[in-house]
């Protein structure tokens, strides 16, 4: 049996298979409830208008274990997108970026740069964040992997962006670029609710709307 034989069968050609990985020593030990995965699931359920299936993992801050989980979700489960939360600071136990880079075939530095720009709107310590974005390529598919902050509010702001009091977007969130990125790496065609997050694609990459 090959890794491809273990992959999730999509219920729809455009179904997004999305891995959600929360990285926390104490939450994985049951010391407190994990808040990262519920926050990711809630936001994505609001933002996406195309089908999505979640595959969830709650694991400790161990570099080898994080890398192994990312490889499992990408190569065996067949996730198009993996979002991690936690473990991206400067503390000794914060090894998520190293574990992510270890499994990457391409680095996507723009994602990390934009995440830090959003954080710096709130606190100067946003510069201490080390989140990265990468692509892991397999023989017949590829996976986008993004490190996100650990707090639910920061997760939402990072994905969605920052809005003024009247609701206008001041700083774009990173998810606006995710659907087109996944399209470019031969993943499903993802669409979003523009009231939450307007996905951007060049005109040449837009799918024609079906006639009623």
86: domain CATH number is: 3.40.980.10
**209 located within any domain:** no
How high is the pLDDT of residue 129? 94
**51 located within any domain:** yes
Question: Which parts of the chain have pLDDT scores under 50?
Answer: 1-3, 211-212
Range(s) of the domain holding residue 106: 3-201
Region at 186 (left for phi over 0; alpha for psi -120 to 50; beta for the rest): left
**115 located within any domain:** yes
How high is the pLDDT of residue 67? 98
**96 located within any domain:** yes
How high is the pLDDT of residue 196? 94
How high is the pLDDT of residue 212? 43
Yes or no: say if 71 and 103 are a contact pair by the CB < 8 Å rule: yes
Q: Map residue 142 onto helix, strand or coil.
A: strand
**210 located within any domain:** no
Domain count, the chain: 1
**212 located within any domain:** no
**66 located within any domain:** yes
Residue 71's closest CA among 79, 60, 83?
79
Classify residue 162 by burial, with Cβ atoms within 10 Å: 0-12, 13-18, 19+.
Answer: middle
Model pLDDT for residues 19-65, shown as the tens digit of each residue: 999 999 989 999 989 999 999 999 999 999 999 999 999 999 999 99
How far, in Å, CA of 150 to CA of 32, rounded? Answer: 14
Maximum C-alpha span of the chain: 57
């Amino acid at each position: 049996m090959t890794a491809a034989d273990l992959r999730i069968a999509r219920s729809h050609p455009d179904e997004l298979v999305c891995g959600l990985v929360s990285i926390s020593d104490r939450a994985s030990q049951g010391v407190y409830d994990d808040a990262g995965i519920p926050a990711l699931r809630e936001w994505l359920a609001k933002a996406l208008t195309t089908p999505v299936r979640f595959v969830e993992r709650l694991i400790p801050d161990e570099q080898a274990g994080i890398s192994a989980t990312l490889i499992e979700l990408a190569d065996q489960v067949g996730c198009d997108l993996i979002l991690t939360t936690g473990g991206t600071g400067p503390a000794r136990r914060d090894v998520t970026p190293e574990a992510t880079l270890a499994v990457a075939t391409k680095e996507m530095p723009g994602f990390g740069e934009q995440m830090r720009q959003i954080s710096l709107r709130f606190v100067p310590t946003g510069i201490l964040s080390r989140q990265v974005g990468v692509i892991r390529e397999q023989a017949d598919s590829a996976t986008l992997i993004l490190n996100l902050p650990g707090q639910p509010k920061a997760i939402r702001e990072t994905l969605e962006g920052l809005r003024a009091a009247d609701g206008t977007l001041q700083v774009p969130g990173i998810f606006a670029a995710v659907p087109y990125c996944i399209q470019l790496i031969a993943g499903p065609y993802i669409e979003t609710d523009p009231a939450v997050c307007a996905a951007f694609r060049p005109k040449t990459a837009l799918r024609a709307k079906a006639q009623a």
